[in-house]
């Protein structure tokens, strides 16, 4: 299928709206779609649908909505809950990208005869002569780059993905384009929270949507000495200092958990640093396998800086050896590997 028909995921925000405009100007036959994922979420509500539909009408392209609430619960919300049950800190955007935007949306695109899909992410796809394959790369918008949350998309899909915002350096440029084209969403604020937890209170969400309940237990140090009482393991995350309710001679941080004993383990700041980390749930985009140790840059959180390391694959795991110890590496988060601006792949921190 060699055509310029493209399905664009639209959230009703300025990024996806300007993406629609740019794609049409580039000669694509653009169809906009909004995924109904969770009732009442920041990206799936009546205003979202209206804004997206109005933009499409103004630009002169088709728009439709699809209800994927059951699939979203299965792939994103249930995973979110399961992570907290197992003392992990999830990043639900990564699951949503894998299963929803670059999974179900791609299936829908093929169903309606589209050869490409697009989103308003700040990232880039291109063919690399050096590697002889299509690659996922960082965008030019350094602070807004979103390649970190895209490492888990299927590699065979990369050549079918277009990111219209890849070459812009700032959000202000996008808003300016929206204003110049009289898009009503030009000054619509960004959504920063987890979309299905719009008030930011993930603890309340867990209690309302699962069997997770506050269960007191001991706060202990690495020697097992009891220093205090916690209100439920899911209320804490690796690296947390505030809200521990402990008086001690030096500052203490959460350094781990003992699920069987229902314990939160705390320690001094130097105990937060690690040289070596294992990841599983691997998805490699640049290579089929990493047989020999290679040097890469690694990001262990969306907001963290890259750190140099060597990685090597063994079965279902990749072992990361950092050149310098890294602070507060958190199980459940993703470690994403880069060579220059190219995404090598990633995995979930164990």
Q: Provide the token pair at 118.
A: 């697009």
Question: Do residues 62 and 134 both lie within one domain?
Answer: yes
Residue 103 covered by a domain? yes
Q: What pLDDT was estimated at residue 100? A: 97
Question: Do residues 122 and 66 both lie within one domain?
Answer: yes
Comparing CA positions, the residue from 340, 302, 309 lying closest to residue 326 is 309
Question: Could you please report the per-residue DSSP string of 269-326?
Answer: GGGGEEEEEEEEEEEESS-S---S-EEEEEESSTTSPPEEEEEEEETTEEEEEEEEEE
Residue 233 covered by a domain? yes
Q: What pLDDT was estimated at residue 44? A: 67
Question: Do residues 136 and 151 both lie within one domain?
Answer: yes
CATH number of the domain residue 94 falls in = 3.40.50.620
In Å, what is the CA distance from 325 to each residue of 9, 68, 89, 319? 39, 42, 20, 14
Residue 195 covered by a domain? no
Comparing CA positions, the residue from 182, 209, 177 lying closest to residue 196 is 209
How many other C-beta atoms can be found within 10 angstroms of the C-beta atom of residue 308? 11
Question: Do residues 165 and 297 both lie within one domain?
Answer: no
The answer to whether 336 and 348 have CB atoms below 8 angstroms apart is: no
Question: Do residues 59 and 161 both lie within one domain?
Answer: yes
In Å, what is the CA distance from 326 to each residue of 241, 308, 320? 17, 10, 11
Domain count, the chain: 3
CATH number of the domain residue 260 falls in = 2.30.30.280
Comparing CA positions, the residue from 233, 227, 296, 239 lying closest to residue 260 is 233
Strand partners, 348: 280, 334
Q: What is the DSSP letter of 102?
A: I
Residue 17 covered by a domain? yes
Q: Which residues constitute the domain of residue 222? A: 214-267
Residue 196 covered by a domain? no
Question: Do residues 227 and 313 both lie within one domain?
Answer: no
Question: Do residues 41 and 123 both lie within one domain?
Answer: yes
Structure-token match 């003992």, residue found: 258
Question: Do residues 167 and 21 both lie within one domain?
Answer: yes
In Å, what is the CA distance from 116 to each residue of 31, 65, 192, 292? 11, 18, 27, 34
Q: Provide the token pair at 77.
A: 């919300």
Residue 202 covered by a domain? no
Q: What pLDDT was estimated at residue 1? A: 42
Question: Do residues 165 and 314 both lie within one domain?
Answer: no
d(CA 195, CA 96): 10
CATH number of the domain residue 295 falls in = 2.40.30.10
Comparing CA positions, the residue from 168, 55, 187, 183 lying closest to residue 122 is 168
Question: Do residues 231 and 283 both lie within one domain?
Answer: no
User: Where among 267, 282, 301 does a domain terminate?
Assistant: 267
Q: b or e along 122-156 (b: 16 or more beta carbons within 10 Å of the residue's beta carbon)?
A: bbbbeeeeeeebbbbbbbbbeebbbbbbbbbbebe
The answer to whether 228 and 101 have CB atoms below 8 angstroms apart is: no
Query: Per-residue pLDDT tens for 61-93?
Result: 999 999 999 999 999 999 999 999 999 999 999
pLDDT tens, per residue, the chain with 350 residues: 458 999 999 999 999 999 999 999 999 999 999 999 987 776 767 888 999 999 999 999 999 999 999 999 999 999 999 999 999 999 999 999 999 999 999 999 999 999 999 999 999 999 999 999 999 999 998 788 999 999 999 999 999 999 999 999 999 999 999 999 999 999 888 877 788 998 889 999 999 999 999 999 999 999 999 999 999 999 999 999 999 999 999 999 999 999 999 999 999 999 999 999 999 999 999 999 999 999 999 999 998 999 999 999 999 999 999 999 999 999 999 999 999 999 999 999 99
Question: Could you please report the per-residue DSSP string of 117-183?
Answer: EE---SEEEEEETTTTEEEEEE-S-GGG--GGGGTTS-GGGGGGEE-TTTT---HHHHHHHHHHTT-
Residue 222 covered by a domain? yes
In Å, what is the CA distance from 279 to each residue of 140, 187, 332, 336, 338? 28, 40, 9, 10, 15
Q: Provide the token pair at 214.
A: 């506050």
Question: Cα–Cα–Cα angle for 24, 25, 26, nearest 5°?
Answer: 90
Question: Do residues 41 and 162 both lie within one domain?
Answer: yes
User: Where among 162, 180, 198 does a domain terminate?
Assistant: 180
d(CA 350, CA 347): 9
Query: Per-residue pLDDT tens for 176-222?
Result: 999 999 999 998 888 777 889 988 899 999 999 999 999 999 999 99
Question: Do residues 110 and 164 both lie within one domain?
Answer: yes
Distant-in-sequence, close-in-space partners of 156: CB < 8 Å, separation ≥ 6: none
Residue 306 covered by a domain? yes
CA 275 centroid distance within chain:
24
Query: Which amino acids are annotated catalytic?
Result: 96, 195
User: Where among 180, 206, 226 does a domain terminate?
Assistant: 180
């Amino acid at each position: 299928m060699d055509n310029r028909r493209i399905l664009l995921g639209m959230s009703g925000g300025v990024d996806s709206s300007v993406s629609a405009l740019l794609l049409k100007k580039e000669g694509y036959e653009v169809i906009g779609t909004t995924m109904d994922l969770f009732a009442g979420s920041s990206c799936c509500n009546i205003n979202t649908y209206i804004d997206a539909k109005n933009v499409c009408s103004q630009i002169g392209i088709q728009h439709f909505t699809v209800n994927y609430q059951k699939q979203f619960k299965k792939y994103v919300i249930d995973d979110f809950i399961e992570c907290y049950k197992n003392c992990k800190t999830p990043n639900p955007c990564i699951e949503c990208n894998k299963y929803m935007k670059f999974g179900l949306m791609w299936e829908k695109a093929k169903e309606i005869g589209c050869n490409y899909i697009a989103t308003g992410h700040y990232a880039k796809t291109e063919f690399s002569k050096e590697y002889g394959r299509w690659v996922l790369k960082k965008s030019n918008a350094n602070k807004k780059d979103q390649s970190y949350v895209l490492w888990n998309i299927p590699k065979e899909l990369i050549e079918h993905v277009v990111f219209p915002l890849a070459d812009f350096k700032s959000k202000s440029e996008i808003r300016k384009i929206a204003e110049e084209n009289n898009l009503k969403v030009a000054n619509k604020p960004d959504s920063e929270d987890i979309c299905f937890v719009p008030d930011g209170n993930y603890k309340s969400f867990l209690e309302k949507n699962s069997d997770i309940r506050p269960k007191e237990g001991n706060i202990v140090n690495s020697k097992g000495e009891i220093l205090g009482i916690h209100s439920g393991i899911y209320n804490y995350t690796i690296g947390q200092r505030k809200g521990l309710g402990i008086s001690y001679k030096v500052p203490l941080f959460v350094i781990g958990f003992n699920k069987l004993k229902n314990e939160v383990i705390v320690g001094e700041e130097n105990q937060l640093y690690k040289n070596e980390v294992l990841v599983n749930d691997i998805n490699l985009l640049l290579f089929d396998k990493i047989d020999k140790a290679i040097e890469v840059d690694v990001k262990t959180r969306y907001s963290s800086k890259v750190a140099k390391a060597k990685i090597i694959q063994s079965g279902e795991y990749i072992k990361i050896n950092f050149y310098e110890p890294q602070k507060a590496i958190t199980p459940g988060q993703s470690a994403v590997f880069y060579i220059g601006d190219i995404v090598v792949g990633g995995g979930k921190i164990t």
